Amino acid sequence: MSSTKRVLGLFDATSMVTGNMIGSGIFLLAGYAAAPVPNDFTLIMAWIGGGFMALLGAFAIAELSTRFPETGGDFLYLHKVFGPFPAFLYGWMSLVIFETGSIAVLALFSAKYFHQFFPGSMALSVPMLATLLVLGFSGIHCLRVEVGSRFQSVLTVLKILGIFLMVFLLFGGENTGLPIKSISTNTDNPFIGFSRALIPIFFAYTGWNVAGYIGGEIQNPRKTLPMALIGGTLITTIIYVIVNLSFLKAAGLSGIQGQEMAPLIALKAVGAEEWTTFLSILIFVSVSSSLSITIQTAGARVIQAMGEQGVFFQFTGKVHSKFKTPVNAILVQAIWTIVLMFALDIESLVEASTVVMIMFSALSISTLLKVNKINSIQKVNDDIYRTPFYPFVPVVYILCAIYISWGVIQFHLSQGSILPFWGLAFLSIGCVVYFIWQKWILNK
């Protein structure tokens, strides 16, 4: 097992949760979430509903992370409760596309904004610049855990301050009455609009479980992890609702429906075009912050846990003798991410694995049902955080995950696309790899 140090406190862990959730989603997906809804109330309720689902997940993961306060997050819970096979498949999908694909998308997007601020960087292609960003952040997170976490906390604070400055501008401005073309796909049925809005909103809320991946590096995890997971999710939900209210106040629902850059539309609506450069910098910082956290936590820590549990190359489970960070796992993650950026259409691959990703999150939450069933006849540690309203919380989360997955499938089928089913192909390959790996291990 690794000998990581518990050096991260409540502020660091909460910053990770909040910073990872507030990425590009609130800026780029707000308009798409608004497109199918018939009125302001339905839109705000959809954002609150997405936050409610994330909070249900945070409550459940808070208990799991205190029962298993080690490094690995969802992979660890699956391995401890359901065994190596489902845990390997989760780790496989994380390595092949879930996390590395997310890192690739965030890096490419960051590189595009970097070109806007520094025209001299145009000499480098977007993939080359994205590669430098991945290597740079990976290098930072190969240093002591607290170094990467302090850096990350600074980015999160800057991001939140920037968001509230934007909100202040939007609430303080007056609508100039400029005509804005609406791109609406709304329906008169609020329930249907609500369900369709939840699809992009789900993506805007992803990342609420990030602190669980570094449970082995958090001080007093049985108290810190629940506060960070639940507190970070609540903070993010409040910020998202306030931001959307500011968009509605500035531009109105019809002004942001279907718009890729709803914040820019809102700023123009109140005559604050001179702040568009600030907005671009804010988006760059937000995306870079999410990129940094994703590199530090989910993917690398899953690869590390896989090595520790013997379902992947053991060298990935080792930590640096001086820095106490999973340098090997971080480097494997960086190398595969760079390969993806140059070889494949990352965005389509990530989208293709969306349903599998959502259902794996539900599978991870379902481990709580089995854990509690086992422990109901055993002595339970009093230090463990208990999920409120059990089993309502995990059951409702699982039902929500199924509901959103069906919505994603229905949407793609309505567009004549079978993209979600490609995720099953990656999963099938993972099954083959697992059984080959097991045979190889047994023959050693």
How many Å is the maximal CA-CA distance in the chain?
73
Signed CA dihedral, 94, 98, 101, 102: sign only: negative
User: What is the Cα Rg of the chain in Å?
Assistant: 21
Residue 218 has phi, psi (to 5 degrees) of: -105, 135
CB 204 within 8 A of CB 58: no
Other Cβ atoms within 10 Å of 426 Cβ, number = 18
The pLDDT value given to residue 377: 47
The pLDDT value given to residue 1: 45
CB 273 within 8 A of CB 261: no
| Spatial distance between the Cα atoms of 59 and 55, rounded to a whole number of angstroms | 6
CB 260 within 8 A of CB 44: no
Three-class SS state of 391: coil
The pLDDT value given to residue 241: 95
In the chain the first and final C-alpha atoms are separated, in Å, by: 21
Residue 294 has phi, psi (to 5 degrees) of: -65, -40
| Spatial distance between the Cα atoms of 371 and 394, rounded to a whole number of angstroms | 12
Signed CA dihedral, 273, 20, 26, 347: sign only: positive
The pLDDT value given to residue 175: 67
* Residue length of the chain: 444
Domains in the chain (CATH in brackets) are 10-443 (1.20.1740.10)
Dihedral, 289, 17, 46, 241 alpha carbons, nearest 10? -70
CB 113 within 8 A of CB 280: yes
CB 29 within 8 A of CB 200: yes
CB 241 within 8 A of CB 41: no
Could you tell me which of 202, 158, 247 has the C-alpha nearest to residue 51?
202
Per-residue pLDDT in tens (0 to 9) along the chain, 444 residues: 445 556 677 887 788 788 778 877 788 788 888 888 888 998 999 999 999 988 998 888 888 888 887 777 888 899 999 999 999 999 899 888 888 888 888 888 888 878 877 777 778 888 899 999 999 999 988 886 666 567 777 888 888 888 999 999 899 877 665 555 555 555 566 676 777 788 788 878 887 777 666 666 677 777 887 888 888 899 999 999 999 999 999 988 888 888 877 888 888 888 887 887 888 888 888 888 888 888 877 678 888 888 888 888 888 888 877 777 889 999 999 999 999 888 877 767 767 777 888 889 899 999 999 887 766 544 555 567 888 888 999 999 999 888 888 877 877 787 788 877 888 888 999 999 998 888 876 566
Give the position of tokens 């568009």: 276
The pLDDT value given to residue 85: 92
The pLDDT value given to residue 223: 80
| Spatial distance between the Cα atoms of 265 and 276, rounded to a whole number of angstroms | 10
Residue 73 has phi, psi (to 5 degrees) of: 55, -130
The pLDDT value given to residue 396: 94
Other Cβ atoms within 10 Å of 391 Cβ, number = 14
**Beta partners for residue 218, in sequence order:** 8
Q: How would you classify residue 73: left for phi > 0, otherwise alpha for psi between -120 and 50, otherwise beta?
A: left
User: Which residues, 6+ apart, have CB-to-CB distance to 353 below 8 Å?
Assistant: 93, 97, 98, 101, 422, 423, 426
The pLDDT value given to residue 2: 47
Half-sphere exposure of 284 (CA within 13 A, CB side): 16
User: Which residues, 6+ apart, have CB-to-CB distance to 232 below 8 Å?
Assistant: 13, 14, 15, 16, 17, 18, 21, 58, 208, 211
Could you tell me which of 308, 376, 356 has the C-alpha nearest to residue 97?
356
